[in-house]
Amino acid sequence: MSLDLTELTCFGRALEEARSLLEADRKRLEQRCERTSYADGTAGSPTQTLYGVTLLSGAMSQALTRVALAAGYSTLGMDQRAEHELVTARMYPVGFPSGADRMARPLGEATVQAMEMVRDLGFFDGEISIAIDVALAAPQATYPPADWDEYERQRRTWTE
């Protein structure tokens, strides 16, 4: 069964637009981040903010690569491989939206636009929409935590 190439094209273009927006914010932040601040690992620091937007962009890049592979395999008639790539592309993207947890508030306009675009795309599982809304509503950066012991205690209760 061939995949819908028109639908894959729409998803791919949206993922590329989100990636481009995030890359624009990454470049802007990179220019503003002083080398002396690279050692600051606190939540919302310039270093963590830059790392967060890099995670967001990387996640979109990986999903886009998988969509492109799915389209290519489908075009070649390799339906099983195409389906595998599409399933992999739709998996909850590592670093998205959790990269935003590292970032200073307010988030950059391009970052917010990219996150809203991904939320509204309907490509990933519905859980990502909730996670994006939570990340966008957060009044401040939350990761890495100031108190690792408390973070670990809370994390254990989340997994139980």
* Token couple for 14: 């949206």
pLDDT of residue 144: 81
* Token couple for 33: 């981040």
Question: How many angstroms separate the CA atoms of 38 and 83, rounded?
Answer: 41
Look at residue 4 and give its three-state secondary structure. coil
Question: How many angstroms separate the CA atoms of 53 and 147, rounded?
Answer: 23
Whether the pLDDT of residue 42 is over 80: the answer is yes
pLDDT mean across residues, the chain: 90
Cα four-point dihedral sign 59, 129, 151, 100:
positive
Question: How many angstroms separate the CA atoms of 52 and 132, rounded?
Answer: 14
Q: What is the mean pLDDT of residues 5-25?
A: 97
Would you place residue 143 in the very low, low, confident or very high pLDDT band (cuts 50, 70, 90)?
confident
Neighbours of 112 (CB within 10 A): 17
Whether the pLDDT of residue 154 is over 80: the answer is no
The pTM of this model reads 0.87
pLDDT of residue 25: 94
Closest CA to 128 of 155, 89, 71: 89
Tell me the pLDDT tens digit for each residue of 51-60. 999 999 999 9
